[in-house]
Structure formats: C-alpha cells, structure tokens
Amino acid sequence: MLLDEAFNAFMRRHKSFGSEGELHEYLTSMIPAHCYYSVAYYKYPSAANMSDKGWSGSDLIFDLDADHLPNAPNNYSEMLDNVKVETLRLYDFLTKDFGFSEDDIQIIFSGGRGYHIHITEDNIKDLDSNQRREVIDYLSAKGLNLSHLFHHKRFVPELQKDGDDLDLNINSGWRKRLNAYIISYLQDSLDSSNALEVLTSHKGIGERKASMIIDLCKDKKELNKIKEGNFNSLFNIDKNLILSIAEQGIEKIRLNIDEPVTADIKRLIRLPGSLHGGSGLKVIPLTYSQLKDFNPLVDAIVFNETPTLINIQTEQKFELNGMKFDLDVGIQEIPEFAAIYLMCRGVAEHES
C-alpha cells in the first residue's frame, strides 16, 4: 500500500518476485506505507485477474486483534498484553487439540494491535473456506453442545441405555479442557474463604447442597473419581451444577478470533520484516519461546532516539521503548521512534 503526493493511500497488487533480493529492491525503491503478501499459493501469481492465477492452496491463518477481545482496555500496552495471552492460548489449542508441531506454526507480531498465526503444514492447504470456518467454530465453541460431551441417559439417551452415569470422557479436546476447568473451579472454591458463597451463586444450590459438595470434594477417593471424569456423586447432589460450571468454563476457555481472516483462502496479510504504517513498529516473526518474553513496545522498535521536532494535534499520553510520554498540543521535540509512532497514527506532523 502506497501514498500519493496528497497522502492518499492506494494499493498496488498482483506483483510477484523471483527472489528475496528482487523483493527487497522493489520495496526500497517504492517505500510503501504498508506491505502485504498473499497467504495463497498460485501457479501464475503475477496474473492480473484472480481467475487466471490458478489457486493451488493456502496457509491456514489466524488473526488475533486486541479490539476483538471482550472488555478490551483503552491502554495500548494493556491491549497488547491481553492479546498476547490470547495468542498463547491459541497456540495451546493448535498443538494439543489439533496436533500441529512447533515447526508447523509461525507466530507473527502484526506491528499493530495483535498477532497472526500461520499454519504451513501441507495437509491443511487444500481446506476450503467452510472447512476453515469449522476450525474457528471449534476454537470459539460455536455450536458446542454439552449434552454431547457428557455421557448420561438423561441428556443423551442413545449414549447410555444401561446405566445412569454422568461421565466426561477426558482423553482430549473440549472434554479434557472442561474437566480440567471443573476440577480447578472446585479446588479453588474449597481453598477460598467464601466457598459457600461461591457455590451458592449457582442456581439451585443452597447452603445444604453447597456443604455436601464441599464435604464430597474433601474426600480424596471421590475427588480422584471426578478427576477421571466421573461426576456421578456431584450429579446426585444437584444435576445442574456441573453443567452450570461447564457453561462458565466454556466462556472462559473459548477463543476470540477474526473468522473472516481464517476463512479467506486468498487473504492478504502483513509481510514479516516490514513496518506497520499505522504505528512504525516492525512486523516480527517469533517462536513460541520468544513470544512469552516479547515486549512489542520495546522489541518491535526500529528507529533511534535522535531528537525530532513534531507538531502534535491532540494531547498524547503513551509508553514506548521503556519511556513514558505525556505531551501537550503544539511543537515538541521527542525521540525519533516516538515521533514516527505519532506521525504514523496521524496525530502529529513532522516539523522541519
């Protein structure tokens, strides 16, 4: 994406390059404000019409944006902290539930408000848009039916005809995750000073039932049964308690991901190594271990501390490169990296 002399943005598309050097030469000569590439693979990538390109597959892409998370804070630093946690949770789903290896997964800081995850494994490249939406449905728990997770004849008669057991198969997937959540919830309730209050917050649970649940969970034998996915004893106290905790667990475990990005098999996405034109921060590829300690407001900065004059249009308060800024309207001299950041956001102009 380029800017014309009037600073209006326009796209230059359908470009292909024979080598990394050729791409580098093009970018340094054009100096684009934003740089994207297609996640799709084409037989004829330089063809001007999409129908002539010959689509032959696409990486599986996930876009995690701080703006899409519930209760997103206004503070940029806090937004980035939240979305990093969500990215780490997605990585956990992809490796444990889908079986992708670390070599299959590329993590990219977008340079803006979040992260992109690319799955490059060959077996997923032929997935169509609907199949990719099903991946998002799984991650976001869309359509998840608790009666199909719990095996009990009162919920799913065809699954349990001879018994009356409430069993959560905990081998993998959402069953395993919900089992872990329920155990954690019960143990945290027991350890808290207001265990009765926590348990009675569930519909139909009074103090008597809450006391019975506490006594039950203190029994190591019964607690081990629960850990193995057998909830019969709890079900006998109140049939709706486990379902209530599980529904709460789903809301806490489910992911918030931009579905249109994942479903789009011809998506354009930011080029790693380029600069984000809305922040001046670098689009950086990361490993899982690097992500855990990654601080984008320090590690994605590429400009220096050369004093730079800018004319600020509105009051600005932010933190960047370990420095806090509280700037009034008007001409200010600040480090180059901070000046670039404000100019990219469109709240300041360079003052010569």
Catalytic site residue 103? Answer: no
Question: Is there a single domain that holds both residue 9 and residue 132?
Answer: yes
Question: Is there a single domain that holds both residue 108 and residue 200?
Answer: no
Give the integer Cα–Cα distance in Å for 228 and 236: 17
Supply the range of the domain harboring residue 207: 158-253
pLDDT at res. 99:
93
Question: Is there a single domain that holds both residue 273 and residue 321?
Answer: no
Q: Does residue 104 register a pLDDT over 90? A: yes
Question: Is there a single domain that holds both residue 246 and residue 295?
Answer: no
Q: Which residue has the tokens 């503070």?
A: 75
Distances (CA, A) of 341 to 68, 111, 326: 22, 11, 14
Give the integer Cα–Cα distance in Å for 310 and 240: 61
Instruction: Let me know the angle formed at the C-alpha of 41 by 24 and 52, rounded to the nearest 5 degrees.
Output: 100
Longest dimension (CA), the chain: 83
pLDDT by residue (tens digit) across 284-329? 999 999 999 999 999 999 999 999 999 999 999 999 999 999 999 9
pLDDT at res. 8:
59
Residue 184 near residue 249, CB atoms below 8 Å: no
Is the residue at 151 inside a domain? Answer: no
Residue % of the chain over a pLDDT of 90: 57
Is the residue at 149 inside a domain? Answer: no
Is the residue at 150 inside a domain? Answer: no
Question: Is there a single domain that holds both residue 291 and residue 313?
Answer: no
pLDDT by residue (tens digit) across 163-177? 455 555 566 789 889
Average pLDDT of span 41-57: 91
Question: Is there a single domain that holds both residue 290 and residue 248?
Answer: no
Catalytic residue among 59, 65, 167, 264: 65
Which of 166, 116, 147, 144 shows the shortest CA–CA distance to 253?
144
Is the residue at 148 inside a domain? Answer: no
Catalytic site residue 264? Answer: no
Q: Encoding tokens for residue 171? A: 């081998």
Is the residue at 153 inside a domain? Answer: no
Question: Is there a single domain that holds both residue 68 and residue 217?
Answer: no
Question: Is there a single domain that holds both residue 286 and residue 224?
Answer: no
Question: Is there a single domain that holds both residue 222 and residue 267?
Answer: no
Confidence at 162, pLDDT banded by 50, 70, 90: very low
Catalytic site residue 63? Answer: yes
The mean-pLDDT minimum among 125-134, 163-172, 217-226 falls in 163-172
Question: Is there a single domain that holds both residue 6 and residue 137?
Answer: yes
Catalytic residue among 59, 63, 104, 238: 63
Residue % of the chain over a pLDDT of 70: 91
Q: Output the pTM of the full model.
A: 0.87
Is the residue at 179 inside a domain? Answer: yes
Split into its structural domains, the chain has a count of 3
Is the residue at 125 inside a domain? Answer: yes
Question: Is there a single domain that holds both residue 12 and residue 89?
Answer: yes
What is the helix (H) or strand (E) element at residue 323, kind and residue range?
strand 323-327
Catalytic residue among 59, 167, 258, 264: 258
Question: Is there a single domain that holds both residue 14 and residue 132?
Answer: yes
Is the residue at 344 inside a domain? Answer: yes
Q: Does residue 81 register a pLDDT over 90? A: yes
Q: Does residue 255 register a pLDDT over 80? A: yes
Give the integer Cα–Cα distance in Å for 159 and 139: 25
